[in-house]
């Protein structure tokens, strides 16, 4: 992603804010894992979206005040410090950051508080993400108080606080051409990782061996990290929606559900495939699998501009409910089962979600209480599933089967582009692919 794209986003934000506004966007900080070790650093998505600056503890301050001709971008970041850099890693430092990231001004963090008071002075509105970052909130209120306590020096404290996410979430919902390139790439890498897992699966291997294969493939193809905790659930572990223990042996005859996607230059892919450890579906597994796939394909017909997630969900629910009735897992009439939501015992999550810098990306799903219409440039997942708990009151042949199929769809002018099309999905495709790989 180049600096002009980040700069253009800042300009879009500045012109969407009310006149005479300042905006404060904090970077993420390192989070302690235990004692003196930290979790892998991940930049805050809003901060990344507007700056591309990769270091922790930085701040971006934007203003559209006329004294800055309507556009000022200021970065505060860690100062260069040879000793800290030996221990904790390289720092860009403000001087270099200003050049490398094409920002109006850049200062060391030491100057943050007093410079922020000066920057804020004379603005009417402050935009930031309330409740998103405690440290940022404290700093903001401290600076506001300093301004309010200094009437004799003719300071003017802003009088209104606005939520910057109202603007930023809407911007992030619509992916630019450059973002779509990155999302296609994240999807393509993740497709290869799922194929690798299908190739490697065998009875006796552990779920975490498949997890390792997936992460290895991500890295070999240029994506260092997963976008979220990889789920490898074999047998009835597949019925636990956010299963991440990934520590059970694979058993021939079971299915394994893998929900995994890489993060590529900040952007997430989010793919689920469910396949037989042995490479061949049993008749019961095949019947349920086909049902989930039919539901997904039925939902796909509603993925186009003007349609919405409710229409797609209703279609998937209809297919799943009718299928469960046909298999004797539900009983009664279709309409009654849909009305009383009996399908929810077996399909208990939503059909999908926005996808982007965050795996569950930002953006409203409703506008004025109504389901928002799809528009070109939105990216979402479509991920129906059927999960029959081991103790569900159904015939034993169905118990302990969990299936989800998840793809990533870009809404286009004509309909959609399935970014994750390449991961084998039909029963025939999966069985043929696994047979071809030789271990099955
Ligand atoms: N991987 C999380 C989800 O599918 O929503
Ligand atoms: Mn998902
Ligand atoms: Mn997923």
SS3 195: helix
Question: How many Å lie between the centroid of ligand 2 and the Cα of residue 148?
Answer: 46
* Angle, helix 134-148 to helix 112-120, in steps of 10 degrees: 60
**Cα 210 from chain centroid?**
22
Supply the DSSP symbol for 229: -
Is residue 373 within 8 A of residue 305, CB to CB? The reply is yes
- Kindly indicate the confidence band of residue 304, based on its pLDDT and cuts at 50, 70 and 90: very high
Helix 177-200, helix 427-436: angle, nearest 10: 60
Report which protein residue has its CA nearest ligand 1's atom 4.
270
Is pLDDT above 80 for 3?
Answer: yes
Nearest ligand, CA 244: 1
The pLDDT of residue 320 is 98
pLDDT of 152 over the 80 cut: no
Contact criterion met (CB below 8 Å) for 75 and 59: yes
pLDDT digits (tens, 9 = 90+) for 393-416: 999 999 999 999 999 999 999 999
Q: What is the pLDDT of residues 81-119, one digit of tens each?
A: 999 999 989 999 999 999 999 999 999 999 999 999 999
The answer to whether the CB of 259 is under 6 A from ligand 1 is: yes
Distance 158 CA to ligand 2 centre (A): 40
**20: burial class by Cβ within 10 Å (0-12, 13-18, 19+)?**
middle
Which among 55, 121, 406, 407 is annotated as catalytic? 406
Selecting among 242, 245, 336, 344, the annotated active-site residue is 242
Q: Which atom of ligand 1 is nearest to the CA of 259?
A: 1
Q: Give me the pLDDT at residue 440, please.
A: 72
- The confidence score (pLDDT) of residue 154 equals 82
CA dist 219 and 71 (Å) reads 39
pLDDT (0 to 100) of residue 395? 96
The token duo for 174 is 């619509």
What are the backbone dihedrals phi and psi of residue 377, each rounded to the nearest 5 degrees, phi first?
A: 100, -15
Tell me the percentage of the chain whose pLDDT exceeds 70: 99
**Pair 401, 293: CB distance under 8 Å:** no
Tokens of 5: 């794209």
| Cα R_g (the chain), whole angstroms | 25
| DSSP string covering 232-301 | EEEGGGGGSTT-----SB--TT-EEEEEE-EEETTEE--EEEEEETTSS--HHHHHHHHHHHHHHHHHHT
Catalytic residue among 42, 165, 280, 349: 349
10-19 pLDDT, tens digit per residue, is 999 999 999 9
> Please, is 309 exposed, middle or buried when counting C-beta atoms within 10 Å of its C-beta (0-12, 13-18, 19+)?
buried
Residues in a beta bridge with 279: none
Q: Is 383 in the pocket of ligand 1 (CB under 6 A)?
A: yes
Distance CA 97, CA 54 (A): 10
Q: Would the CB of 359 count as within 6 Å of ligand 1?
A: yes
Angle between helix axes 309-326 and 283-300 (nearest 10 degrees) is: 150
Q: Which two tokens stand for residue 279?
A: 């490479």
Return the percentage of the chain with pLDDT > 90, whole number.
96
406 counts as catalytic: yes
Ligand 1 contact via 270 beta carbon (within 6 Å) = yes
Residue 140's CB is within 10 A of a number of other CB atoms, namely 21
Q: What angle do CA 410, 414, 417 make, to 5 degrees?
A: 30
Phi, psi of 27 (to 5 degrees): -75, 170
Q: Rounded to an integer, what distance in angstroms lies between the CA atom of residue 404 and that of residue 31? A: 32
Q: Taking residues 60-81, report their average pLDDT.
A: 97
* Total-model pTM: 0.96
For 332-361, b/e burial (b = at least 16 CB within 10 A) is eeeeebbeeebbebbbeeebbbbbbbbbeb
């Amino acid at each position: 992603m180049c600096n002009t794209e980040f700069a253009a986003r800042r300009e879009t934000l500045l012109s969407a804010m009310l006149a005479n506004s300042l905006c404060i966007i904090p970077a993420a900080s390192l989070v302690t894992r235990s004692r003196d070790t930290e979790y892998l650093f991940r930049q805050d998505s809003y901060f990344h979206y507007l700056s591309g600056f990769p270091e922790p503890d930085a701040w971006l301050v934007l203003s559209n005040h006329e004294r800055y001709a309507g556009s000022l971008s200021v970065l505060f970041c860690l100062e260069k410090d040879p000793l800290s850099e030996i221990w904790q890693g390289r720092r860009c430092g403000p001087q270099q950051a200003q050049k490398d990231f094409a920002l109006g001004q850049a200062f060391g963090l030491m100057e943050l508080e007093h410079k922020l008071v000066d920057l804020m002075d004379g603005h009417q509105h402050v935009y930031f993400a309330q409740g998103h970052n405690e440290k940022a909130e404290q700093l903001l209120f401290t600076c506001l108080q300093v301004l309010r306590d200094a009437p004799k020096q003719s300071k003017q404290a802003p009088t209104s606080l606005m939520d910057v996410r109202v603007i930023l979430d809407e911007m992030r919902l619509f992916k630019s051409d450059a973002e779509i390139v990155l999302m296609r790439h994240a999807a393509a890498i993740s497709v290869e990782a799922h194929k690798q897992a299908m190739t490697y699966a065998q009875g006796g291997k552990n779920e975490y061996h498949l997890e390792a294969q997936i992460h290895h493939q991500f890295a070999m193809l240029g994506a260092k990290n997963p976008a979220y905790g990889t789920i490898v659930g074999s047998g009835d572990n597949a019925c636990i929606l956010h299963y991440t223990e990934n520590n059970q042996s694979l058993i021939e005859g079971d299915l394994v559900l893998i929900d995994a996607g890489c993060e590529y230059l900040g952007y997430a892919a989010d793919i689920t495939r469910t396949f037989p450890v042995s490479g061949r579906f049993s008749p019961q597994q095949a019947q349920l699998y086909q049902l989930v796939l039919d539901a997904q394909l039925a939902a796909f017909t509603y993925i186009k501009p003007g349609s919405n997630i409710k229409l797609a969900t209703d279609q998937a629910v209809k297919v799943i409910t009718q299928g469960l009735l046909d298999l004797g897992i539900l009983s009664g009439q279709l309409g009654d089962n849909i009305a009383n939501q009996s399908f929810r015992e077996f399909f208990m999550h939503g059909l999908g979600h926005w996808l982007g810098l965050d795996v569950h990306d930002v953006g409203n799903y409703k506008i004025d209480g109504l389901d928002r219409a799809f528009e070109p440039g939105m990216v979402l997942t479509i991920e129906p599933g059927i999960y029959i708990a081991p103790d569900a009151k159904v015939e034993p042949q169905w118990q302990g089967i969990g299936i989800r199929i998840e793809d990533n769809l870009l809404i286009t002018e004509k309909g959609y582009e399935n970014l994750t099309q390449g991961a084998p999905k039909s029963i025939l495709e999966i069985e043929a692919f696994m047979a071809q790989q030789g271990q099955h």
